[in-house]
């Protein structure tokens, strides 16, 4: 294909998919046993299909959207605005969507992902070449420890280390009382000292006094990064904590939009920024956000919402365009989700996730798996649980 023609969007379909997890995941807000996402399937009149994945960390507690809200809004409000548009006109499409639909960054990110997949396929190029080109082939990937039981978490970490899958672990915190949570984290960090890096993420559940009490204890135990201990709105508090924090203080919930990033940079509210395509409304905006962070001298990190094998492949296309990730990232979804929905298997080895070759997003949906796990086929989690 030497020249490209427009790729006009003809159909837009949103499919909710429910996948079981290999074990329960205890977030600050809830205990999850399955992971749901929306696949956004766009077909062009010219015959190309692009797919995006809007993934959420088990319901609306993190970002306000749910798989149900995404499907409802895409069916009723996004689709009529998309049909007839040229998939190459991403900035224009996103502006049009922003004018008509407030928020909904997860849905917008899933749509943008499908548009980029169409572009890549039309141009016979991987998506990373549409985003500035490849600067890395792999990403060091942290593993979430999220059962709340320190002894079991230490065993889980040792198993991951033995298999050379992960040498960095992130404790999901905030579900327990701070005293018990900090004791748990210190025990895990001390037990793994010299073997692995241990990090803590209370998902904004602590107040400043608690964070100030916890921080020196965690640092003493060897924790090398604390993520979003304070509520997302408390940027001034985050800035105060950053000033006294001898380890990386990463902002996640506090930095979703470009405006959030600008304000975080002005206040020096964090010393590391977690990038997530979903929270910022797409790969291109996340790239801009990353450039704003780097321009302010604040390093970046590749975060996750526990995407499927498809969404993880897509995230890796974006991640491949990032040069320096001093603390790595955590695209570990496919190892926590018990079922793959792609024809390709994500490649985890030597503590890293490796980029997959291919055009577009480099991943293709396994149609049989999609048929089995789509919610509108009355799939029941209990039917496949062992
Ligand atoms: Mn987080």
Tell me, yes or no, whether 175 and 216 share the same domain.
yes
Q: Which of 53, 153, 307, 330 is the catalytic position?
A: 330
Q: Is 107 exposed, middle or buried (0-12, 13-18, 19+ CB in 10 A)?
A: buried
Could you read off the pLDDT of 55-84 as tens digits, one per residue? Answer: 998 889 999 999 999 999 999 999 999 999
| Claim to verify: residue 120 and residue 190 sit in the same structural domain | no
Residues 43 and 155 in one domain: no
Centre of ligand 1 from the C-alpha of residue 203, in Å: 6
201 within a domain of the structure (yes/no): yes
Same domain, 213 and 250: yes
98 & 228 share domain: no
My answer on whether 138 and 263 are in the same domain is yes
Q: Which two tokens stand for residue 266?
A: 């002005």
How does the average pLDDT of the chain come out, rounded?
95
Question: Ligand 1 centroid vs 26 CA: distance in angstroms?
Answer: 13
For the question of residue 153 being annotated catalytic, the response is: no
Q: What is the pLDDT of residues 248-275, one digit of tens each?
A: 999 999 999 999 999 999 999 999 999 9
CATH number of the domain enclosing 184: 3.20.20.120
Domain harbouring 84, CATH code? 3.30.390.10
Q: Is residue 323 part of a domain?
A: yes
Residue 261 lies in a domain: yes
Domain count, the chain: 2
Based on the domain organization, do 217 and 321 belong to the same domain? yes
Ligand 1 centroid–CA 305 distance in Å is: 9
Alpha helix positions (H), 3-89: 67-73, 79-82
Residues 240 and 302 reside in one and the same domain: yes
Strand partners, 49: 43
Same domain, 178 and 119: no
Structural domain including 57 reads 9-124+366-373
- Does residue 163 have an active-site annotation? no
Q: How close is the Cα of 302 to the center of ligand 1, in Å?
A: 11
Q: Which residues, including other chains, have CB under 8 Å from residue 47's CB and lie 6 or more apart?
A: none
The answer as to whether 386 is a domain residue is no
58 and 137 share a domain? no
Task: Note whether residue 28 is domain-resident.
Answer: yes
How far is the centre of ligand 1, averaged over its atoms, from the C-alpha of 121 (Å)?
32
342 located within any domain: yes
* CA of 60 relative to ligand 1 center, distance in Å: 14
Residues 223-236 as b or e (16 or more Cβ within 10 Å = b): bebbbbbbbbebbe
Asked if residue 141 and residue 20 are part of one domain, the reply reads: no
pLDDT in the model for residue 32: 83
Assign 281 to helix, strand or coil.
coil
Low-confidence ranges of the chain (pLDDT < 50): 2, 379, 382-386
Asked if 22 and 377 touch (Cβ cutoff 8 Å), the reply is no
Amino acid 5: pLDDT: 86
Q: What is the pTM of this model?
A: 0.94
Q: Is residue 244 part of a domain?
A: yes
pLDDT value of position 380: 54
Classify residue 360: in a domain, yes or no. Answer: no
The one catalytic residue in 172, 197, 287, 369 is 172
| Residue 53 and residue 135 share a domain | no
């Amino acid at each position: 294909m030497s020249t490209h023609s427009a790729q006009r969007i003809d159909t837009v379909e949103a499919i909710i998919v429910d996948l079981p997890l290999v074990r329960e995941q205890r977030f600050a807000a809830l205990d999850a046993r399955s992971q749901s996402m929306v696949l956004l399937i766009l077909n062009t009149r010219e015959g190309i299909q692009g797919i995006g994945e809007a993934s959420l960390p088990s319901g609306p507690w993190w970002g306000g959207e749910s798989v149900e809200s995404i499907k409802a809004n895409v069916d009723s409000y996004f689709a009529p605005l998309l049909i007839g548009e040229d998939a190459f006109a991403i900035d224009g499409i996103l502006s049009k969507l922003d004018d008509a639909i407030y928020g909904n960054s997860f849905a917008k990110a899933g749509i943008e992902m499908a548009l980029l997949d169409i572009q890549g396929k039309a141009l016979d190029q991987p998506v990373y070449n549409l985003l500035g080109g490849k600067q890395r082939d792999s990403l060091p990937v942290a593993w979430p420890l999220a059962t709340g039981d320190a002894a079991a978490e230490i065993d889980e970490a040792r198993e991951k280390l033995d298999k050379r899958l992960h040498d960095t672990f992130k404790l999901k915190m905030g579900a327990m009382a701070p005293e018990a949570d900090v004791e748990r984290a210190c025990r895990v960090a001390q037990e793994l000292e010299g073997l692995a890096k241990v990090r803590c993420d209370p998902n904004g559940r602590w107040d400043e006094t608690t964070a100030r009490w916890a921080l020196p204890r965690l640092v003493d135990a060897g924790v090398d990064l604390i993520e979003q201990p304070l509520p997302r709105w408390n940027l001034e508090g985050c800035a105060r904590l950053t000033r006294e924090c001898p380890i990386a203080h990463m902002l996640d919930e506090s930095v979703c939009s470009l405006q959030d990033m600008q304000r975080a940079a002005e206040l020096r509210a964090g010393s590391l920024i977690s990038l997530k395509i979903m929270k910022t409304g797409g790969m291109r905006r996340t790239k801009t956000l990353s450039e704003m962070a780097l321009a302010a001298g604040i390093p970046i990190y590749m975060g996750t919402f526990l995407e499927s094998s498809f969404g993880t492949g897509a995230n890796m296309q974006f991640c491949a365009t990032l040069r320096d990730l001093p603390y790595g990232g955590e695209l570990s979804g496919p190892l926590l989700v018990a079922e793959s929905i792609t024809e390709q298997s994500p490649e985890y080895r030597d503590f890293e996730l490796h980029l997959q070759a291919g055009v577009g997003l480099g991943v293709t949906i396994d149609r049989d798996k999609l048929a089995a796990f789509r919610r509108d086929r009355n799939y029941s989690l209990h039917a496949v649980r062992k």
